[in-house]
Amino acid sequence: MNGLGAILRAASTTVALALLSGMALAAQTIEVLTTAGCGCCIGWARHMEQNGFTAELRNLPMADLMQVKIGAGLKPGQTSCHTGRIDGCAIEGHVPAGEVKRLLAERPDAIGLTVPDMPYGSPGMGEAGPDADPHDVLLVRRDGTTEVFASYR
């Protein structure tokens, strides 16, 4: 019985660890708020899904989408064509998935991240490479100020 008990304990520990690691690997859901027919927004949602997130797209009238952006604390010049919401953070525009993961891991005191405008070569906006527009991912602080979180050149 002693040998069987040890085997059962080891098996139950293995199952518990497998379940816990599966929970850690479960995809986080990002709500993507956009207007109908925006192809680059769909491209960005696919990029997020290819990088382990679950993206839920929700089409809004432009006036409602602008209210979401304002309600999140984003200011003019900090916006783009879509707004993502994940775990209490705003993700504005074509922010790479890796930077979203970093934000969620580091948890700075901030509203979220933005890539203002729609730079070519950012996720959902064409191919990254030598023709890509240089751009920054900005951390948006709670007071509305920004700082460079990552640069793409």
Q: What confidence tens digit (pLDDT) does each residue in 51-76 have?
A: 999 999 999 999 999 999 999 999 99
pLDDT value at position 5? Answer: 47
Domain spans of the chain, in order of start: 29-152
pTM: 0.82
Q: What confidence tens digit (pLDDT) does each residue in 124-147 have?
A: 999 888 999 999 999 999 999 999
pLDDT value at position 27? Answer: 86
pLDDT value at position 25? Answer: 52
Judged by DSSP in three states, 76 sits in coil
| Sheet of 110-115, strands arranged across | 54-59, 29-34, 83-86, 89-93, 110-115, 135-141, 146-152
